[in-house]
Every structure is written in structure tokens, then in C-alpha cells.
Structure 1
Amino acid sequence: MTPPFTTRPDIRGTFGVVTSTHWIASAVGFGVLERGGNAFDAAVATGFALQIVEPHLNGPGGELPVLFHEAASGRTAVLCAQGIVPQAATIARFRELGLDMVPGSGLLPTVVPGSFDGWMLLLREYGTITVREALAAAIDLARDGHPVMPRVANTLAGLADFFATDWPTSGATWMPDGTAPAAHELLANPETAAMYARIVEEAERAGPDRVAQIEAARTAWREGFVADTMFAYLDTASVPDMTGRSHGALLTRDDVAQWRATIESPVSGTYHGWTVHKTAPWSQGPVLLQALAILEHIDIAGMDPDGAVFVHTVTEAIKLAFADRETFYGDPAFCEVPLARLLDPEHNRARAALIAETASLEQRPSRLPGFEHLADAFVERAARDSAPDISPLEPTMAHLTERRGDTVHLDVIDRWGNVVSATPSGGWFQSSPSIPGLGFSLNTRAQMFWLEEGLPTSLMPGARPRTTLTPTIAEKDGIRLALGTPGGDQQDQWQLIAFLRHVHHGMSLQANLDAPLFHSMHVQGSFYPRAAKAGELTLEASFGAEVIDELTRRGHRVTVVDEWSVGRLTAAERRADGRLCAAASPRLMQAYAVGR
């Protein structure tokens, strides 16, 4: 049961709040607010700081989806900085290499690094500070070092031999003296510090105009010295990946030079008077809307939020919504995604009727007229790739091995009512080798594609990978909530649980994030080797024996993990009268909310 206390207070005030997955980054962002910046400025500075203090979870070579609300215009929108597949990355090319699946590490699955251009676009369009001010904290942290978290130190220690033999450039970046840092020692990255410092210098050569400086910084990244250094390495490099063989990159200078981050409309849905905004189906974002559309027809408010009925019902809705994610989602610029039909209330009334008293062990995607072949293909694929004893080798959750990568998250609200929710990821040091002279790794997100023709997620040059990255903004009667978490396929599962508890059970933000969590592993994994585990339900031991026994009786294949080991949610909320609140999960002992 939920304890009658919280691990920390709800952070309340009226001036501003910042919450993120690392306390240093939260402090950086709040410092920007204190100096007069807005939520967009604070988010950018927080995001760059997270690249340095959580390098095993994101990096300069990664990607970025942002949901934001601009108070002055009343606009809620999405910034998409999801890098695209290189033009040379075709199914035929991978088949020529003897591969039937895109590997999850190395250089072969790398895509355009999108994070830097995305943060710069957000700063240009909605921020007020300069490139120097946005990068100042990240430069300091990378140059002077930061107290390395035990998790980062342990991950580096586990990779030391691999870096020494297979990815020596990574060893040079992260273990220049040949040994991994001990927990809480200072970890620096001089090459990344120098890169960002030079970007600042080149930006300021463009003159005093802030926008001109930002554009100069973007050019330095995609066409200037950053691109020069990147491709001086990539043009000849070939390194081992998880196939057991060495491969080079398919990414080219033209791929990087021609790509730009974009701003687009969100996909939105309603639930019990709330309007919920998500990214488009180039991410898994709409799966949360689908799950809510199913649960709209069920009395969630009448359930104990820590009880077996709640866990069972939400899990079964997750299975149905995620089956549709895996069947239909992809980059809408390259495939038709029948999203209106998937979110239709009557369609989801029928989907809700599929939820029985016992757990389903089947994959049950919607069979929409004209799309039946996609449903059949997904069921066949899931059966083929079902592997109960295999875990995904990238984003997962806290209780699994520390050599896997993951993601970070931040939420910011300022005194004017601007709201930013962002989930940066990719480019972690486990994903691909460090680039000499830059000190960062590239993003291996091409592994999200299939090497089969005719699917929404078939590998296609220029397409955005269907990521798991999925921030949330929800609003009702002048209230605006920002929410998110790392966790790969679990991101929208944990956010769904937290949102339902928020809407129906009156929990404070911190009590909500402290409450026991669970997720389904029944869904087909988005990461190599793409396994599905029929009926598997992972939940924290804090649910208690009675709930665990009842879920087992209902047919769930229950895996019990330690208390405080699942999920890394953060959340921030603004009330109609201007009151602010923020919270952060105590799990992993690093996320923190600050504000006043």
C-alpha cells in the first residue's frame, strides 16, 4: 500500500519550478529562472547539463522531443529534434551485410544527431538568453568535472575491457588513465567542453544579435568544425557491434548538413475533462491517448490505485494500446497511420470490452478495414520474436543491468505560465564509440526499424525512427500538468499510471511519484533484440503479497522486483491562480525538483 508519507515535500511556489532526472541539472535550470530567463531558457540549459551529468543516458549526439506551452500565444506544440535515417541506410544495404535485424550498437545504426539543433531552435523561437548563457553550465561541468554518480561509475567499470579492446576512442574519452572513475569522484569531458566553448566563440563572431548567434551555432554544428571533426572519424572508422562483426557508419555529411529540427502540432485527446497532448506517431506518444480512450469506458475512479483490480485493468489496456502502436505507428511523412480511427471513442469502447477478469496472453491489435495485413504481420512477428528469457539491450528500468542505456527527462514551468516537458535521449556512451575531438557518441536509433518491406516501421532513408520518447502536457480548467520519465517502452506505461492516479485519486504530485509502479513486458520491445514476453507483468514488491497473489491468480506472469526500482517520473503543475508544484521520483536517488 502507499505509505502515509512522502519521501520529500511537494515543491510549491509561484515564481518557477524545475524538475529533472538529476539534481545538478535541476539546479542549473532554476538558476536560469532566477537570473530572469523563462521556462524555455531554463529547459535548454537543463538539457545541456543533463548531457554532461548523465552521459550514460543521453549525450550531444542524441535526439530530442519537446512538448511545450507558450503562455503569450496560448499555443501548445511539439518540437521534433528526432534525427532521421541516413540516405544510404536501406533494407537492401543491410541485407547485403548479411543482417536480418538492425544492430543496437556501434556505427551502423547511427542516425542524424538532432539534439543540438533542437535545443537551439527552441532557444531561438521562444527563449531570451544567448548561446553563451545556455551552454555556460554544461561547459563548466564538462571542463571542471562533476561528482560522478555510482551508476555511471559502475557502468564505465563494466565497459572498461570492451572500450580498451574494441572502442578505444571511448576509453580515451571516459578513462584517459585506463581506469574507470570511482563513485563520487570528479568526471570531466574536456573534449566536449572545448567543443561547446568553440561553438560559443563562433556564435559570437556573428555579432551582437542573439538570433544571428544561434544560427551561427547551428551552422557550426551541422556544416562547420563539429561536422568536420565528426566525419574525419566516421569516414574511415569500423568498429565491433553486437553482431560480433565490425561495421562503419552509413551517415554522411550531407545527411547532417541538410537536416533541421521542426515545430509541429501535437496529437491530442480527452479524458474525463482533461485534454492530453502528445507527440505524433513518429514516437509512441499517442499510445497513452489510446490507453486513456480505452479506460474512459471503465470505472477507474472506483478502484484502489494500489490494488490488484487497478493493476490488472490498466495492464490489459496497455497491452491493447501497445499492440496498436506496434502495428500502425511510424513516421506519418512516410506511411499512413490511421490515428483518428485508433482514437475513436466507439472503437475504444469495443477495445475496452476485450478486457476480461483474467490476463490475456495474446497479441490483439485492432483489425481496421484496409489495414488487416498490418495486424497479421504484427501477430506473426511477435510470435516469431517471443523470447521470455531475453531482455532488451537498451532503455529499460532501474533494476536491470547498468550496462544498458536509457533516457533523461525534464519539466519546467515559469511565473508567466510557460511550460516545457522534454525527454532527451540517445548518444549515450554505451551506444557507439566516442568521436575523437568531440567526446560524444552518436545515436543508434535506427535499431527501431525492421528490415522487412511494407511495414510502417520498415527501414526507409529519411524517416524518423518510431521512438519511445514521449513527454506529456495535460490541461483542464486552467490547470496545466507536465509529466515524463525515462524508460523506453515503459515510459507511457508509467505516465499512464501516474496520470490516472492524479485524475481519479487525489494524490499530491510527490505522493503519486512515490507510489508503487508496474509495467507490462507483454508488448513487443522497441530495442534489439525486439523480444516480447507474453503475459509478463513486472511490479514492485511494495504492492504486497495479497496483490501479487491475486494478479498471479488472474493469469499474469508476475516478476516481482525491489521496492523503489521501477520508473523515474518527474512532474510539474500550474494551477489557474498561478500556484506551482513540482515533484521527482526518489528512485535511483538522483531526480530532484526545485522551485519557489
Structure 2
Amino acid sequence: MFTTRPTLQGTFGMASTTHWLASQSAMAVLEDDGNAYDAAVAAGFVLHVVEPHLNGPAGEVPIILAPADGPVQVLCGQGPAPAGASVAHYTSLGLDLVPGTGPLAAAVPGAFDAWMLLLRDHGSKSLAEVLRYAIGYAEHGHPAVERIGETVETVRELFETEWISSAEIYLPDGKSVAPGGLLRNRPLAATWRRLLAEAEAASASREAQIDAARRIWREGFIGAALADFAARPAMDTSGERHAGTLTGDDLAAFSATYEAPVTHDWNGWTVAKAGGWSQGPAFLQQLALLPDELPAYGSADYVHLLIEGCKLAMADREAWYGDADEVPLGTLLGDGYNAARRALIGERASYALRPGSPDGRTARLSKHAVAAAAGEDGFEARGLSGSGAGEPTVARGAAAQAAPGGGPADAASGRVPADVAPEIDRNGATRGDTCHIDVVDRWGNLVSATPSGGWLQSNPVVPALGFPLGTRLQMAWLEEGLPNSLTPGRRPRTTLSPSLALRDGVPAMAFGTPGGDQQDQWQVHFFLAVALRGAVRGGLDLQGAVDAPNWHNDSFPGSFFPRGMRPGSVTVESRIGDGVIDELRRRGHHVTVGDAWSEGRLCAVARDPETGVLSAAANPRGMQGYAAGR
């Protein structure tokens, strides 16, 4: 089968990320006798520099790791809501949604501590050895990908009039960086150099230096600068200037944590995901909803089945997932529950938001979710208007242009353009996105991580540090009593969702994608393509599965401001075929046809449990993601 690139194979090590410089930096660490965890940390910090519109040091990262000699673990780098971040405080400000940008949307940053724990507990390299790649690119510059300058242009007015500290880095001399132009972030390089100097002065021990760096982040010069800046009012998507709730005490109290993954067995595979504080179990629910016999891969019956199963899983996500309540995952993944839910899938597209009743419980949805499902209060339009604060698909701006009856926006071509740049108002209502990293080494260690948040367009840059705070609190509801209500000390439910799959109980594949609410749609389609379509050169056909036509739906409340939805919507790549598109429309799906290469941004690595052969693949869409290995 034709693929855009070969599936890489080798025996030494493999890395796949959303930017070639991060992949090559990870590979450089492996070549220097580092392991998969050292490589992932180095790549993570490089992504902060080369994809600043997609993630930053004050964002978050869930990580799934499978040590060659130990059990699969989840390392949670999702920080909680600060102690002052209550529903009462936000509603007292006249808000009914957490703003999509600005200090009020900032959770306690979690990514840095998670990367440090991974390095300390599972890595072998020093902090200086893994940070040197990021420091080099920040200090001396890196050739900017097209999207950085495009993103900066969408927030130009905001930067020039309100977020002046951001303009100093991203609009030097009043100009955004041109594609391929050198972009530097010398304040960030200086931050990491000072961090290293203070950590190395604290101890000669590798582990003690890493712990010292964690303290500096929480309580030293970094923590002090973050807390000070969070207290300064800044313009956000509400159209007002608000101060945040994050304090030095919140920063000092946080530590990333390890936990057991949630798993589901399917046809000899075991897929491991983060728990119900993430959307990860929605991937597992989609597998649990599949019948014993699947329609032909890629057929209209197949695509319809997956779309309708996804709607049911995401309705349960809306009703039951969160960190403020116990998530009934045992029942949600159980055979009896899913047999009853499977029976709800009919021949026609469903437009309803239909959560189940696990253990006889009655679902309670946010008033916003109810209004969005009913198409009230302008939710459909404002949720998918081409602007917003959340993570889009590549074609998301185009999706809003589809005709109400499912017809294409461009009658001449029958398609809509894929890369529609987000529009912006002066309050900063633009969208961020996410990165991904997968690494496998010659010893059999696997790691999958999805860094996000702290985008350049999320908050003003902290001048002393060179990076902004994040905005993850926008995913929590300003309504009491829901599993995902904004609650001090609780994690907002995140869309970040790395994946790890075991074959006959042995870790075999790590994979993931950016894309917000689409992450656990695109990943399901990728995983089934791997599982159903065979092997290449004796290994898994990772590149073929990455390249396969993909799709998503928006028939559930979005996780990002302004939290809209489009009941019955489906956005597909044109390569899915006219016959499939016509049949989906006949069944009542509102189909938007995107560009041929516009859905999904998968990365993946694998290890054959029998031969030890390693493999890797990366997304060709956007010409940015690459795999490296030998």
C-alpha cells in the first residue's frame, strides 16, 4: 500500500514527535546512551521552544510509561485549580464560563514537575544534559514553522495594546517571524541557565539537582515570578481585565503523581489510558462499544458505526468524567452496560446527547451542555465559528463553513479548505493546540506524552521568564455539583490523552495526537487501522495507519471556551471517498468535506515483543511531524 513515508524500523531506538527538531533531539539523547525517558524529557523542553503556539513550560502533560522491567504507569502532570478558584468567585465576576485566556483560566502548572519526576525516577541523564537542546534553540534561534507567525498575527492587536511582554518576544520590531526565519527566546534560555546554575550549586548529585530544580520552580525565582504575574489583571476573552487566583502557596503545594492506568482488552490488545480526570477512558469506551463483527474497514457502515459509538462515549464523558467525583469506569467499560448502549446505534445519525445510567445513576449535565445540545443561546455558532480558545482540528475553521444541510461550503469544488487560520478579536479569543512525543529505546522502555497549555496566545508572557501561564481551567464548569465543576484542589478534566498498547500483555506500542476533543477520535481510528490492516516488513504498519483517511464529529459539548457543539456533524478528509460521503449524508450526518490531508496528527512508536524490532511513524499533515530512528 502507498504511504507518504516508510514505517521506520530498526533495533537501537525510535522517536516520533510533532516537530522534527524535537524528534532529532530525542534521537541525539538516545545516541548518547540515554534511555527513552531522557529522550522524552529533552524533546518535551525542545517543543516548548519550537512549538510555542502549541505548548509551554507552564502548561501540563500526562505521560504513560512502560518500563522494560516494571508495570505500566501514568504520570500526571495536570495541575489542579488553585485554592481561590471557586465557582462562587468566578460567578461573582459576572462570568458563566471560565475565560478561554488570561490569568483567571490558569491552573497550577503541572508539566515541569512531571518532566522532572520522569527524569529523576526513570532517566539516567543530568538536568543539564537534557536541557541543552532547548537552551540552544531558545538562545541561538530555530527556523520557525509557518504556524507560529500565523498565530502571532491573529493576536497582534492584543499583544500591541494589552500583552506588551508577549509582543517583546513574538513581535520584535513590530514584525512576526516569517516562515523559516530565526525565532529566539533569550529570556527563556536565561531562565533555564539560571535554574541549572542554582540546581548545580545545591548538590553534585543528579537526583538532588533535579529535586532542587523542582523547588526552584515551586518556591524559588520561577515560582515567585509566576505568582506575581498571576496576580496582575490582564485582558481575557470576557472582554475585561481580570487577575488570576494562582498563588505561591498553590505552586508550593503541587507535585506530579504516579497512578495506575485504566485499561481495556480488545482482540488480544490491552490499551492503557489515564483515568477519568482525562478524556482517555472515552477511547476505551469506544472499543467496548464495538460489536464482535466489524463492517469492512473504511466502508460507510464502518465509519457510521464509529461515529455513533463515539457520540455515546463522549456523552458519558460529559456526564460522568471529572476529578470532583468518582467516575464509574468499571461499569462504563463493562460488557452488560455496553451491550445496552450498543443497541442504541441505529441506521440513522443521532443528534441527541445521550449519556447512560451506570449502576442506575441519573446523569446530570451542565446547563450549558443542555443548551448546546438543544442548539439554544447561539451555542452552535459560537462554539465553532473559527475562533475560540481551545484546541482545533486542522480543518476546524473550515468546518463552520459547511452548509446546514451538510453540503460543502465551496459549491464549485465540493470541499472546504483545510488550513483556515483562526480569526481573532482584541480580547484574545484564538485557539491553541497541543504536541505529542513517543519514544522507544533498545532496552524496551516505551513512553507516550502529550504536552500542551501555556501557549503564547494563552496569557501574557512573564517577562522575567520568557513564557506564559496556561488556561486549562476553561475546561471546568461554573456550576456546582458536576463531576467537572470548578473545584479548588481538583484537576479540570483534560483532553490530553497519550496512549500505550500491550499485545498479549507485553508493551508494544505508544501513540497519540494533538487535537483537543478529537484526540480520542483520531486515535481510535489509528489504532483500529493498525489492529485490522496487518503488518509491513514483519512489523506493524504504523505509517499506513497514520496516513489512512481520518474524520471527527462535534456532536457533544466542546471542552474549550466557548464550549459549543454541532449535533450530527461529521468532518471527513476528502480521501474517504465520494461513496462513503454520500452514504453518510443519506443516513442524516451533516458532513463537511475537508482537504485530503486535514484530519489527525498521529505519532507512534512500537516494539515487536517477539523479535525486539522497533518501528516508528509520524503524521505528514502540516509537514511538521517526523519520526527518527535506527
TM range (shorter): over 0.9
Of residues 321, 331, 338 in structure 2, which corresponds to 1:329? 321
1:155 aligns with 2:189: no
5 Å matches for 1:261-280? 261-280=256-275
Q: What's 1:339 paired with?
A: 329
Distance 2:100 2:88 in 1: 18
Q: Which runs of 5+ in 2 are unaligned?
A: 398-420, 423-429, 536-540
Amino acid at match of 2:97: M
5 Å matches for 1:248-267? 248-267=243-262
Residues 16/498 of structure 1: CA separation in 2 closer, same or farther (3 Å cut): same
1:515 aligns with 2:506: no
**Bigger CA drift: 476-485 or 56-65?**
476-485
Distance 2:150 2:519 in 1: 24
1:451 aligns with 2:478: yes
What is the deviation of 1:173?
2.1
Distance 2:181 2:193 in 1: 24
Residues 328/44 of structure 1: CA separation in 2 closer, same or farther (3 Å cut): same
Q: What's 2:568 paired with?
A: 535
What is the deviation of 1:154?
1.2
Amino acid at match of 2:82: P
What is the deviation of 1:479?
5.6
Q: Deviations over 1:358-401 (max 9, x none)?
A: 11111111023452142696656633567333315310111233
5 Å matches for 1:224-373? 224-235=220-231, 237-295=232-290, 297-300=291-294, 302-303=295-296, 305-331=297-323, 334-373=324-363
The count of corresponding residues between Structure 1 and Structure 2 is 586
Q: Deviations over 1:192-235 (max 9, x none)?
A: 10001111111111222100100111111110011122233333
- Percent identity for Structure 1 against Structure 2: 49
Distance 2:172 2:389 in 1: 26
Are the equivalent residues in 1 in contact too, given 2:331–2:359 (CA < 8 A)?
no
Length-normalised TM-score, structure 1: 0.96
Q: What's 2:66 paired with?
A: 69
Are the equivalent residues in 2 in contact too, given 1:367–1:375 (CA < 8 A)?
no
Structure 1 moving runs of 4+ over 6 Å: none
What is the deviation of 1:538?
0.5
Q: What's 2:94 paired with?
A: 98
5 Å matches for 1:551-590? 551-576=584-609, 577-590=611-624
CA RMSD of aligned residues (A): 1.4
Distance 1:466 1:479 in 2: 27
Distance 1:207 1:454 in 2: 47
Amino acid at match of 2:104: L
What is the deviation of 1:421?
0.2
Distance 2:54 2:216 in 1: 25
Q: What's 2:373 paired with?
A: 382
Q: What's 1:437 paired with?
A: 464
Residues 512/373 of structure 1: CA separation in 2 closer, same or farther (3 Å cut): closer
Amino acid at match of 2:615: C
Are the equivalent residues in 2 in contact too, given 1:584–1:593 (CA < 8 A)?
yes
Distance 1:124 1:396 in 2: 34
What is the deviation of 1:298?
4.2
What is the deviation of 1:12?
0.4
Distance 2:226 2:363 in 1: 42
Report SS of the residue matched to 1:372: coil
Q: Deviations over 1:268-324 (max 9, x none)?
A: 1111111110000110010111110001x2422x41x22211111100000000100
Distance 2:229 2:591 in 1: 46
Distance 1:31 1:131 in 2: 15
Amino acid at match of 1:52: V
Distance 2:19 2:102 in 1: 27
Q: Which runs of 5+ in 1 are unaligned?
A: none
What is the deviation of 1:109?
1.0
Amino acid at match of 2:628: V
1:112 aligns with 2:139: no
Q: Deviations over 1:220-256 (max 9, x none)?
A: 1110011122233333x21111111111111111000
Distance 1:272 1:24 in 2: 36
What is the deviation of 1:351?
1.0
Are the equivalent residues in 2 in contact too, given 1:405–1:430 (CA < 8 A)?
yes
Amino acid at match of 2:293: D
Q: What's 1:490 paired with?
A: 518
Are the equivalent residues in 2 in contact too, given 1:366–1:375 (CA < 8 A)?
no
Distance 1:385 1:57 in 2: 30
Q: What's 1:52 paired with?
A: 49
What is the deviation of 1:141?
0.5
Of residues 163, 170, 173 in structure 1, which corresponds to 2:166? 170
Length-normalised TM-score, structure 2: 0.91
Report SS of the residue matched to 1:6: coil
Are the equivalent residues in 2 in contact too, given 1:386–1:533 (CA < 8 A)?
no
Q: What's 2:215 paired with?
A: 219
**Bigger CA drift: 407-416 or 392-401?**
392-401
Distance 2:228 2:476 in 1: 27
Are the equivalent residues in 2 in contact too, given 1:160–1:179 (CA < 8 A)?
no
Report SS of the residue matched to 1:5: coil
Are the equivalent residues in 1 in contact too, given 2:542–2:617 (CA < 8 A)?
yes
Of residues 549, 555, 558 in structure 1, which corresponds to 2:582? 549
Q: What's 1:410 paired with?
A: 437
Are the equivalent residues in 1 in contact too, given 2:14–2:629 (CA < 8 A)?
yes
Amino acid at match of 2:320: F
5 Å matches for 1:422-433? 422-433=449-460
Of residues 130, 133, 157 in structure 2, which corresponds to 1:134? 130
Q: What's 2:426 paired with?
A: none
Q: What's 1:17 paired with?
A: 14
Q: Deviations over 1:151-200 (max 9, x none)?
A: 11111122222200121111112123221111110000011100011111
Distance 1:351 1:385 in 2: 30
